[in-house]
A and B are shown apart, each in its own frame.
Chain A
Amino acid sequence: MSEYKGIKGFQVQTRTEDPSPTEVQTGDFYYNSSTGQFRTINSGGAPLGSWSSGGNTNLAGDSYAGYGTQSATGKAGGRTTPGPGPALTTGVTNHEQYDGTSWTETTDINQQRWLAEASGVQTSALLYGGAYPSSTNPILNTEYWNGSSWTEVNDLSTARRSHGGAGTTHTAALAYAGRMGTSYIANTESWDGTSWTEVNNLNEGRGYVTGGGTSTDAILVGGYDGSNVSSYENWDGTSWTENADINTARQTISSGITTNAICMGGSGPSAKTEAFDGTSWTEVADLATARYDANTGGSTGSNTSTILYGGYPPSPGYSNNTEEWTAADFQIKTVTTS
């Protein structure tokens, strides 16, 4: 005797939209009536995440140096303008820290700069390079933040701006790539807590990047070398190795390590976000607001948690908006017959 389910089959849940992370269960199977597709919930893979709004920065601007994590980050320098942008203004000494809810102004840096990079955490950070007063004047200057004040320490060997930076402490950092004069450089320098030492170059010189990671596991994503770049390179503590390209070549903001990285926004301006799972880059949910010359907590972000703030949208003036990326450890897959 046939059973009902043998004749009619199993019922499949119909949803008008994909489930939220609080509803989802790995292994779920359903029909999305909005897209006309059957879908499953799998574990792993590129993260399913979204951007939410964070607290607004006190000073709207772009081209900051950023350090820290999503809920404990800081931004130093940058540029801002009181009138219609993007008029060139000299870099600022402004320094703000974020507690996951709001930004608070704290002790200024000593050297005005923009287009710089930073590494570390809220109580111990390193700020290096950048430009002042104009972008054609890259600087060598390095400052150390001890949680209450900035102190000038030994300079970089090669002046640079729009470069990459990595490092989670003030005693171990990496400065790489960047713009120096009319050149896009491949030069890499390693900081040991006292001084910078030149180490192996990138495979491809470029600028307009932010980098990310640690002094022994750093990333460089996209950028610009006269054209927008799609390549992705990883630093293992000794040398740079090319890895899988991002999907959309652009100057972009990035954070994470070799096997777990994210890049977002950038030239265009773009709202695109791409996540790297150790093998390939997958486009995931867009930023709410497209922008470039923004920055991120950077060094310790990942494809499941990062932050983006400031930047230049396609309108007069700079942004003071913050967005926070959080991802769940599952993915929604469309069922196909192939």
Chain B
Amino acid sequence: MAYKYCTATNWGKNFFTHEERRHFHLSGHPGEVWVVGDNLYGDQWIGKVAGAIKTKEEAQAIVTGEIEAAQTAYDALSAEEKELQSRPVVYNLP
């Protein structure tokens, strides 16, 4: 499956609808990065949310930066706090 990448701020209700979710892949990632299925419906959604198009490498760099910042914050936590959540792990966008 082919994807497009963009950044957009989730404003809440109707940022993405049930109908849109059924027509194309959509997943949100740290740094307000969105991975969008590369089809007509996905393009229309990017336009609707005024998404700023990124290359995959640019999007990955944003996500990685966010997760590394979260890792730094996690490493500074007490043992008690660390029990509540696992250390964020850098992952690759599809």
Contacts and interface: CB of A to CB of B under 8 A. Distances in A.
Contacts of A55: 12-13
Interface string A93-122: 000000001100000000000000000000
A316 B73 contact: yes
Given A271-B27, A321-B10, A315 B16 contact: no
Interface in A279-327: 285-286, 288-289, 292-293, 312-316, 321-322, 326
Please indicate which of the listed interface residues B10, B18, B26 has the most CB atoms of chain A within 10 Å of its own CB: B18
A27 interface: no
B92 interface: no
Contact of A134 (B31, B67, B73, B80): B80
Contacts of A288: 16, 21, 26-28
Nearest to B20: A52
Interface residues of B, number: 38
Given A17-B23, A289-B28, A316-B66, A52 B17 contact: yes
Contact of B78 (A56, A88, A267): A88
A322 B28 CA distance: 13
A129 B85 CA distance: 20
Please indicate which of the listed interface residues B30, B69, B80 has the most CB atoms of chain A within 10 Å of its own CB: B30
Contact of A293 (B15, B21, B69, B84): B84
A294 to B, nearest CB: 12
A315 B12 contact: no
B93 interface: no
B55 interface: no
A262 B39 CA distance: 30
Contacts of A136: 80
B31 to A, nearest CB: 7
A315 B10 contact: no
Interface string B1-28: 0000000001111111111111100111
Classify the secondary structure of A's interface with B. loop
Interface stretch (A79-87, A167-175, A237-245): A79-87
A20 B22 contact: yes
A315 B15 contact: no
Contact of A135 (B13, B16, B83): B83
Nearest to A21: B22
Interface in A186-209: none
B69 A52 contact: no
A134 B80 CA distance: 9
B84 A135 contact: yes
Nearest to A292: B85
Contacts of B86: 267-268
B21 A285 contact: yes
A333 to B, nearest CB: 17
A53 interface: yes
Nearest to B88: A314
Contact of B18 (A18, A50, A135, A316): A50
Contact of B69 (A53, A84, A87, A285): A84
Contacts of B18: 21, 49-52, 326
Given A20-B19, A267-B86, A86 B74 contact: yes
B70 interface: yes
B84 A52 contact: no
B3 to A, nearest CB: 14
A52 B81 contact: no
Interface in A252-287: 267-268, 271, 285-286
Given A53-B13, A53-B14, 19 more contacts: A17-B23, A18-B22, A20-B23, A50-B18, A50-B22, A56-B11, A86-B77, A86-B81, A87-B73, A87-B76, A87-B77, A135-B80, A268-B86, A286-B27, A288-B16, A312-B85, A315-B31, A316-B73, A326-B18
Closest 9 CB pairs of A and B: A315-B30, A289-B28, A314-B88, A50-B21, A53-B15, A56-B12, A315-B66, A55-B12, A52-B18
